[in-house]
Amino acid sequence: MISINIEKKLKAYSGQQWLKVNREFADGSITKIHGPSGAGKTTLLKIIAGLITPEKGIIKIDDITWLDISTKISLSPQKRMVGFVFQNYALFPNMTVREHLEYATKDEEWIDRLLTIGKLETLTTHKPEHLSGGQQQRLAILRALAIKPKLLLMDEPFSALDHEMKRVLIDELEVLFAELGLTVLIVTHNPQELDGLCDGELEIDTER
């Protein structure tokens, strides 16, 4: 069980706004997160991952406290071991496709399986600059999965994929998520595309 109760100030053109989220997510659940631009969807993922600190809040994972502002507890991102698919991919320009995955795991069999799922098995020696946007996005997903995280955070993970590739990849990921028992939070601007994958949703809006 993931328990999140946080408050974070957001800068907005119309003045000060707050991101407030109080929610529990069951182990193995897949939740889509949506809401208007600027509402703090990406900020929420970064708070969970330990990349941003809120003004107030507690985050607990299976009774382990990751964050408690009142007692100044904050586990580092490395200790949280979250898989994170960034909206801008955050790939390493000097690493090949395979090196990205080898950086996360030494399990060659697992790497080969991920490459097949992402349809990148013929591009293992390519660096990001020689990949299309969709290929880069798939690599970012595979890298996040390479560590076999218990919690996977995905920020607009399918935005660069065409309809057919998106459908095939989502089908493959659904099987993988179940196999790993992953809890997954997916930020999306198009919640309908995830109707068959997700079993819950969180709509975010800011408060003044």
Q: pLDDT tens for residues 164-207?
A: 999 999 999 999 999 999 999 999 998 888 988 999 999 998 66
Three-state SS for 165?
A: helix
Does the predicted model carry a pTM greater than 0.75? yes
Integer Cα distance of 121 and 118 in angstroms: 8
Q: pLDDT tens for residues 89-137?
A: 999 999 999 999 999 999 999 999 999 999 999 999 999 999 999 999 9
Degrees to nearest 5, angle at CA 190 with 188 and 194: 80
User: In degrees rounded to 5, what are phi and psi of residue 168?
Assistant: -65, -45
